[in-house]
Structure 1
Amino acid sequence: MSMGDCKSMRPEMEGEDDLIAAARNIARALGSKKNLTDGEREILANLGAQLSTMISLSEKKGEKIGDIEDRLNSIQERIMSWEADQSMIWDSGPNESLEYVKAVEEARRFVERLEGLCLNKDDQEYEVLQKAHDVLQTAMARLEEEFKYMLVQNWQPFEPEHMSFRSSEEDIVDGSSIISFGDDSFEDSLHRDSVSRASEEVVIDLVHPDVVPELRGIANLMFNSKYDQECIQAYTSIRRDALDECLSILEVQKLSIEDVLKMEWGCLNSKIRRWVWVMKIFVRVYLPSERWLGDQIFGELGPVYLDCFVEASKPSMLQLMNFGEAMSIGPHQPEKLFRILDMYEVLADLLPDIDGLYMDEAGSSVRIECHEVLMRLGDSVKATFSEFKNAIASNTSTNPVAGGGIHPLTRYVMNYLRTLTDYGETLNVLLDDCDEGDSISQSPDTSPTTEEENKSTDTLGRISPMLRHYRSLVSTLECNLDDKSKLYKDASLQHIFLMNNLHYMAQKVKGDELRLLFGDGWIRKCNGKFQQHAMNYQRASWSSILSLLKEEGIQNPGSNSISKTLLKERLRSFYLAFEEIYKSQTTWLIPDLQLREDVQISTSLNVVQAYRTFVGRHSNDISDKLIKYTADDLQNYLLDLFEGSSKSLQNSSRR
């Protein structure tokens, strides 16, 4: 600053006294009103500051040191008078706050004028300047206190129950766990939480709008007085606590990564679902509102409001991201895949909003952290999907399923895949760079065979990543089931077991979205497989019995005449064999009613027809005493097979 700049220069203004008097009258008139509008409050605050400026500018040039000290003492006395009062200035009414702002503004301009003199320590005015700094510092400390008090006292409670983003109460508070891998009750327990795709922001008043003009006036005064850092720190401290309180209201706990990793799945499952819900509210409602509040208070002071927003919201965002990171590094258990996908999808959906909120350099650390957590969640999805396939392949059983019914693993896997189709778009993106064996996609047994199935291919004819992995999983399941079938000693029961499970797989694919993914060609192939096992069952169970009803071996030696003794023995052997099959296969189970009827009818056509033909052909050689069961009896008895309950012909009431 040049010597000329250091001189105190005050322009002479014509009619200054009249103008000041008029301004004072306006201020008194506004101050006397009981209910001021927001606009009137702001005018009153600005008028006080301008009035103080006008008074300062009207002072005569070249005041004596004694006059300067007298003016400072007057300002100090006015400022210190409020220090003795324990009540808050802005609670005392607009007149009190206006007078205080005027006094502080005078102190600020007094300091500014003395600093403009470029004083040395030897100058008489230097000691006055130091005293003026002390007075201004006292005033700034009081303004900071008032500023924080107004922010806290006028905080408006956040009421998330009124937000449209919230799903049903059961979805939020339900803490039931997803059933562990292979559990038979998985089918009834599994459902996907809905993830709202609403992208519009909702802005609410986090601080009562009536006090925003006063807060803005205090901020401007502190910035003009070069106490900007104190103002920023006070604001960010209060708003950081408010955001922390918001998460507390939303029932988000502060958890370390270690806490999350040690948590029981039932509790963790509930917290994940809440996290998904909270993220949508926090990013699309609370953060835009927080940024808007900062803009209202600091917007006139440049981009500083963005820094305030970042500093206030960063800890809460990192707390939420910390939970996401903990989930991404936890054990890759198949049961957790759906919840991790929910987290991935909601974060991916919110990233454009987050990038927009933290678009400046100050917010880069938050942006980067959110993108990194999303990437880690995606990696966790891929690792968990791979672990799911490994779990299918390594699933072992020491005991076979009773009656050759549907294995829990089959139910689990097919319902798992069915639910995963809801995440098809996400899975196609995440699994695109995962090699799952090109041989599977090129195998003639699994590649698309119809125009409809080609919907699952891209423009280059490549199978979608999701379908490629699904087929690999199903192929792994079939291999595992084939191994499990060997636990049955009876070859016929092995075929019943495989028939049941392949039929269940085909029905699951046929019934919903899986059909669009696998296609009708895959269903036909699967149908062919379980039908082949049904035929193999017929041969393994009934071929030896039906051979007893053939003509060979019942003639007398050396002639073509029928031996009644051999005929009697044949019938007796047939009845014994039939009774043995009846006793064992009534305990076997075909859960699907239509499939059971189909197998029963097919068996009846073969057995009953052969029996009726055999008995009819030899009716002249067989007495009624030898006929233990009629053809109708056999047909009725065959209807008892595969119902899973033990029966015996000796106890049967049918005849």
Structure 2
Amino acid sequence: MDGTFDREHHLIAAAHHLAKALESTTDLNHDTKWLLSDLSAHLSRAIELGKAHRAHNSSTAEIEARLMSAAQTITRLHSNHPKIWDAGHTTISEYLKAVAEVQRLTLSLEDMDLPKTSRELLDRAQNTLHSAMARLEDELAHALIRSKQGFLEHTEYEDSLVSNEDDSVRTGRFSSSESDVGYETDLVHPDSIPHIKSIAGLMFGSGYGREFCWVFTGFWRNVLAEHVAATLGFEQLSIEDVLRMEWELMNSRIRKWRAAVRGIIGTHLVAMKRLFDLVLGKYGDPITSSACLVEASRAPVMRLLNFGLAVSIGPHRPEWLFCLLDMYETLTGLQPEIDALFPDETGPSIRADFHDLLMRLGDSAMAIYRELENHISLCSSTTPLASGGVHPITKYVMNYVTFFVDYGETLERLFRAQDAGPGPNIPDHLRSLTSALEANLNWKSNLYNDRPLKHVFMMNNIHYMVRKVRESPVEQQFGDEWVKAHIGKFRHHATCYERETWGPVLDLLRDDRRVGKSGQKGMCRAFAAAFEGVYKRQTRWWVPDLQLREELKIKATKMVIHAYRDFLGRAGSSVCEKHVKYSEHELGTYILDLLEGSPKSI
């Protein structure tokens, strides 16, 4: 076919040369010259078309040869290496060059005005490119698995339990891991970045950018979801699950949630964005990288936010206050990261849900804060503590009080956010809470029929309030006047306890000179019975503070032994020998058993 074309081309060229020669003669008439000129022009165009056809044939032949060579390289490497990225740098480089060659040839053929007879070459090029792209998808997934570096487990958190049963209150503040937000970590080994970027370049350049993003985002979505599940340590919970959960378990899961949120958003999503920008930043429109990040992180992040939402919707019980404030503070600290990770044009739903949860947590905390005083006032119980010890509500309230100073700035921020004025006066609020507590304790003390026990109860609880204030930074909020006044209050109740306990007993030892020996015998018996009654009742009573308990025992010992010694000195020896039941030493020993919370009898 090419030989025939060449012969025709030579004939046309000879005819064109003859026409030009005849056209140059002078003895031809005008019409003949015009016909020769027109013929020469047609022959010239035919020659140019012939040259173009020859050039086209030469170009497609070269492309076909190059395509065959590249396709053979790709097929050979596909067959010889189950995973090309495991075969070493030389093989990887050879494969990438071959795929890049097919990509260039395909683009060249697509730009050419091919006749139908040459369409088969374009089909072959496109099929080879498609096969290479499918293999690159697998190689990309494998390269990510092979080069992925584990998420760094570095977050440490402390308990955040406000207990009404345990004096050792545990805080909800994060320890040294506060600085972990923004901690830079690499999600893949740095050496693998050039290979991943080269795959991205080939796939985007070949029109397979969507497929690259699908594999890339899907991989990181699964990795992030697995990490969220592992960090939380529990399955996804519904709102109903949260509402039914016991407080201790809920508190534990909130602590894990806070650790997970800080690690995922503050560290790992930041690292993901850095990787996505590095690999995808130059492809497509400006938001390609951000859009892929949203797609990879949406489900895992929403799992975190949904747990927080369930907690914020839950019942607004007082024991939830500081956990809610801790959650609020955690999210507040992550606002810059969220706004940078998910700008308006790519991540409105994630960012909006984050800020909505932040607002809900703040609203829930403020609702509890405002109702806390009423809750204390309305916390009534018709069953008094048999021991007269520190009431759970006292521990409960004072544990809250000692924490409030740590959350002053957060509460101020919440008040401003809700347009509720400049914020609460923390000292006034704390004193208001303790006043409500005292009123409640006074009401509870009236449940005791035994007046000395009533004073033991009030003494214990006010002493506990003073001790908690003096042992914490909140003392500055209460001031010296409050402390002095309440020291006076519990000492007043201690004095009333001593007077009402030992006054009636020691009165039995007075005026013995007027009654004679027979009366003194009766006084001995009455005193012994009264002392035994005190012993039986007050060994079950409980003064938890060791120093206060010892002070009461020392004063009781001095008071009782002094009065008893005076009585024995006034009584005759015959009375003492026959009718005195206890020696001074025995009375002192028995007094040591009082207020220990361990029932005994003589």
Q: TM-score range by the shorter chain?
A: 0.7 to 0.9
Question: Counterparts of 1:286-297 in structure 2 under 5 Å?
Answer: 286-297=268-279
- Match of residue 143 from structure 1: 133
Query: Structure 2 CA distance, aligned partners of 1:337 and 1:272?
Result: 12
What residue in structure 2 maps to residue 315 of structure 1? Answer: 299
CA shift for structure 1 position 299 = 2.8
Corresponding residue for 1:12?
none
Does the residue aligned with 2:334 lie in a helix, a strand or coil? Answer: helix
Matches within 5 A, 1:195-214: 195=175, 196-198=177-179, 201-214=182-195
SS in 1 for 2:182: coil
1:346 corresponds to: 330
Residues 181, 263 of structure 2: 8 Å contact kept: no
Aligned-partner SS, 1:404? coil
Contact 2:412 2:424 in 1 (8 A): no
2:144 aligns with one of 154, 164, 170? 154
Structure with a larger share of its residues in helix: 2
Q: Which amino acid aligns with 2:413?
A: V
Structure 1 residue 641 corresponds to structure 2 residue 594: yes
Give the Å deviation of 1:510: 1.4
1:232 alignment counterpart = 213
Q: Which has the larger radius of gyration?
A: 2
Q: Which string of whole-angstrom CA distances, capped at 9 and with x for unpartnered residues, describes residues 460-518 of structure 1?
A: xx9733x4443333233223322322332111211111111111221121122232332
- Residues 435 and 476 of structure 1, relative CA distance in 2, 3 Å threshold: farther
Q: Could you tell me which runs of 5 or more consecutive residues in structure 1 were left unpaired when the two chains were aligned.
A: 1-59, 115-123, 439-457, 556-561
State the partner residue of 1:244.
225
Instruction: Describe the superposition over 1:338-395 as per-residue Cα deviations: whole angstroms up to 9, x where unpaired.
Output: 4433332222222222222234521333222222222222223334445665554444
State the AA in 2 paired with 1:580.
Answer: G
Q: Deviations over 1:605-652 (max 9, x none)?
A: 55555555666678799887566667676556544432334455xx4x
Is residue 492–residue 540 contact of structure 1 (8 Å, CA) maintained in 2?
yes
Aligned counterpart, 2:29: none
What's the secondary structure of 1:300's corresponding residue?
coil
Partner of 2:103 in structure 1? 104
Q: 1:415 aligns with which of 399, 419, 423?
A: 399
SS at match of 1:198: helix
Pair 1:489-2:449 in alignment: yes
Alpha-carbon distance in structure 1 between the residues aligned to 2:537 and 2:181: 65
Aligned partner of 2:596: which letter?
E
Q: Which residue of 2 aligns with 1:403?
A: 387
1:505-516 correspondence to structure 2 within 5 Å: 505-516=465-476
Candidates 508, 518, 526, aligned match of 2:478 = 518
SS of 1:403's equivalent?
coil
Is 1:596 the counterpart of 2:544? The answer is no
1:375 and 2:359 are equivalent in the alignment: yes
The residue identity in structure 2 corresponding to 1:275 is W
Partner of 1:215: 196
Distance 1:252 1:547 in 2: 67
Q: TM-score with structure 1 length normalisation?
A: 0.69
2:430 is matched with: 470
Change (3 A) 1:583 1:223: closer
The answer on whether the counterparts of 1:332 and 1:387 sit within 8 Å (CA) in structure 2 is no
Q: CA 1:150–1:602 in structure 2 vs 1: closer, same or farther (change >3 Å)?
A: same
Deviation for aligned residue 1:412? 3.6
SS of residue in 2 equivalent to 1:362: coil
Matches within 5 A, 1:481-560: 481-548=441-508
Percent of aligned positions that are identical: 35
Q: How does 1:79-94 map to 2 (within 5 A)?
A: 81=72, 82=74, 85=78, 87=82, 92-94=91-93
Judge which range, 238-247 or 316-325, deviates more.
Answer: 238-247
CA RMSD of aligned residues (A): 4.2
CA 360–132 in structure 1, closer or farther in 2 if over 3 Å, else same: farther
Residues 540-578 of structure 1: CA deviation (Å, up to 9, x unaligned)? 334444555555x976xxxxxx76666665565445434
Q: Hey, what's the Cα distance between the residues in 1 that align with 2:361 and 2:450?
A: 47
What residue in structure 2 maps to residue 273 of structure 1?
Answer: 255
Matches of 1:260 and 1:634, distance apart in 2: 57
Return the letter of the residue paired with 1:150.
Answer: L
Q: CA deviation at 1:220?
A: 3.3
Q: Distance in 1 between matches of 2:554 and 2:289?
A: 79
Distance, in Å, in 2 between the alignment partners of 1:88 and 1:645 is: 76
Contact 1:152 1:238 in 2 (8 A): no
Distance 2:189 2:417 in 1: 51
Displacement after TM superposition at 1:214 (Å): 3.8
CA distance in 1, matches of 2:226, 2:599: 64
Aligned 8 A contact 1:78 1:103 in 2: no
Distance change in 2, residues 1:634/1:260 (3 Å)? closer
User: How big is the shift at 1:590?
Assistant: 2.1
Of 420-429 and 609-618, deviating more is 609-618
Deviation at 1:247, TM superposition (A): 3.1
State whether residues 140 and 215 of structure 2, in contact with CA within 8 Å, keep that contact through their aligned partners in structure 1: no
Contact 1:108–1:136 (8 Å) recurs in 2: no
- Counterpart contact for 1:404–1:493, Cα < 8 Å: yes
Residues 640, 201 of structure 1: alpha-carbon distance in 2 compared, 3 angstrom cutoff: closer
TM-score (norm 2): 0.75
1:167 aligns with 2:193: no
- Compared CA separation, residues 187 and 576, structure 1 to 2 (3 A): closer
The equivalent of 2:21 in structure 1 is none
Matches of 1:112 and 1:264, distance apart in 2: 69
- 1:121 corresponds in structure 2 to none
